[in-house]
């Protein structure tokens, strides 16, 4: 049974599950601070990804980015869902969150080394620190919440066992690294499914939707920051503003359109049961990763315009258009029901995705992508207006 929340910062409070139907459940200041610290890791991963692409190591860069970003996303996601059900905001909870933040900063420090040189030592220890803090949180919940003890203990045991695997991976030959990484990723993804089968935790749909939205917002903001730094560097190299004007306008237009498309959705309606919540939550790996990659692609485009980097024009353009296409696709898929996706009436998003990818081969791919993204927003507004008008007429 859920108990009312005590004043923030109370020394100790039993970690009893919060109600999934709790009114006015919103993100806390601690959660927002947690997100900001994690964005440091996102920025480091995106920066290292940009460097790999600029050096022409596309395959190596994409694989490394996917691996590093998994660690960032998975640690963030696990805390988010746990906090939705068990945020007591007492002193032990805050201190354990601090440990997770410290682990995130260690992870950020090792992101470039992991991505560029395949040295996952630092990033693994940072990740394990975060995950062991989560084990402690789950053990607290198991002790205080008998109703969900079986579920909480499964989380604690499952996470602990997988962390042993991550540490052991460091001692194995390099040839084992990638296959074992894949096995451990599957194990990590399986833990919530296994644990929740023993009794669902009381995560809050509106709180979860808000947390994901806020992180999307922060990552898109980091994209703007990365692009701004690239433009500043170009101007410092005496590049004329006119030479990069289309990149600036197209990049800003694109990011604003991506923000619009994401927040135009009614996310809580998708979080109706465990299966839909897992698919929705797991699918955001590609949403977050592509959002951060947009900034790397935009910065790469600026560098290419100023004569830096080893990529061809089309490859540099693809570094921007492909993440944009992935973001649009995932937002469409995750925020629509299967019947809506299969409907022939909803061809706007697939058409826009194909158009964005086609812009890779145009003279100004970033500007053209921005125009396509803006047109997609306009089209969705028209469709929504017509749908509301039709609903009003049917009611009359």
Residue 366's alpha-carbon distances to 133, 138, 197, 371, in angstroms, are 42, 45, 46, 9
Q: Distance (Å, rounded) from C-alpha 254 to C-alpha 248?
A: 10
User: What pLDDT score was predicted for residue 389?
Assistant: 64
**HEC states along 27-41?**
CCHHHHHHHHHHHHH
Element of type H or E holding 47: helix 29-54
Q: Sketch out the chain's domains with CATH numbers.
A: 29-196 (no CATH), 205-395 (1.20.1410)
In this prediction, residue 244 carries a pLDDT of 81
DSSP of 167-204:
HHHHHS-GGGHHHHHHHHHHHHHHHHHHHHTTS-----
pLDDT of residue 152: 95
Closest CA to 111 of 296, 328, 307, 282: 296
Summarize pLDDT for 94-145 with one digit per residue, the tens: 999 999 999 999 999 998 898 888 899 999 999 999 999 999 999 999 999 9
Each residue's pLDDT, cut to its tens digit, for the chain (396 residues) gives: 444 454 555 788 888 888 888 888 889 999 999 999 998 899 999 989 988 988 888 898 999 999 999 999 999 999 999 999 999 888 999 999 999 999 999 999 998 898 888 899 999 999 999 999 999 999 999 999 999 999 999 999 999 999 999 999 999 888 888 999 999 999 999 999 999 998 889 999 999 999 999 999 999 998 888 888 877 777 777 666 677 888 888 999 999 999 999 998 888 877 888 888 899 999 999 999 999 999 999 888 888 777 666 778 888 899 999 999 999 999 998 877 555 555 555 688 899 999 999 999 999 999 999 999 999 999 988 887 776 665 554 554
CA 270/CA 280 separation, integer angstroms: 8
Cα(124)–Cα(103) distance, rounded to whole angstroms? 10
């Amino acid at each position: 049974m859920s108990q009312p929340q005590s004043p923030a910062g109370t020394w100790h409070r039993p970690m009893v599950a919060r109600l999934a139907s709790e009114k006015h459940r919103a993100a806390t200041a601690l959660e927002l601070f947690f997100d900001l610290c994690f964005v440091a890791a996102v920025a480091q991963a995106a920066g290292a990804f940009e460097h790999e692409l600029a050096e022409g190591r596309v395959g190596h860069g994409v694989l490394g980015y996917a691996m590093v970003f998994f660690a960032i996303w998975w640690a963030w996601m696990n805390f988010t869902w746990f906090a939705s059900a068990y945020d007591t905001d007492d002193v032990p909870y805050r201190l354990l969150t601090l440990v997770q933040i410290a682990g995130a900063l260690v992870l950020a420090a090792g992101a470039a080394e992991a991505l560029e040189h395949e040295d996952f030592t630092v990033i693994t220890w940072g990740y394990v620190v975060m995950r062991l803090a989560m084990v402690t949180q789950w053990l607290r919940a198991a002790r205080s919440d008998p109703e969900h003890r079986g579920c909480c203990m499964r989380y604690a045991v499952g996470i602990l066992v997988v962390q042993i695997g991550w540490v052991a991976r460091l001692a194995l030959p390099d040839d084992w690294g990638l296959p074992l990484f894949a096995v451990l990723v599957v194990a990590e993804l399986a833990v919530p499914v296994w644990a929740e089968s023993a009794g669902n935790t009381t995560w809050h749909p509106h709180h979860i939707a808000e947390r994901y939205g806020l992180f999307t917002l922060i990552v898109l903001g980091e994209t703007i920051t990365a692009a701004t730094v690239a433009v500043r560097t170009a101007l410092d190299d005496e590049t004329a503003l006119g030479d990069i004007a289309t990149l600036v306008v197209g990049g800003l237009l694109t990011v604003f359109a991506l923000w619009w498309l994401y927040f135009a959705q009614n996310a809580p309606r998708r979080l109706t049961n465990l299966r839909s919540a897992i698919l929705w939550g797991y699918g955001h790996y590609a949403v977050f990763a592509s959002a951060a990659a947009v900034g790397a692609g935009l910065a790469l485009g600026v560098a290419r315009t100023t004569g830096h980097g080893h990529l061809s024009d089309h490859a540099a353009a693809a570094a921007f258009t492909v993440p944009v296409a992935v973001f649009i696709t995932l937002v469409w898929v995750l925020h629509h029901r299967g019947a809506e996706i299969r409907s022939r009436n909803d061809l706007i998003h697939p058409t826009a995705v194909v158009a964005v990818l086609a812009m890779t081969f145009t003279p100004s791919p970033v500007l053209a992508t921005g125009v396509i993204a803006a047109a997609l927003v306009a089209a969705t507004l028209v469709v929504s207006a017509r749908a509301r008008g039709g609903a009003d007429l049917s009611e009359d």
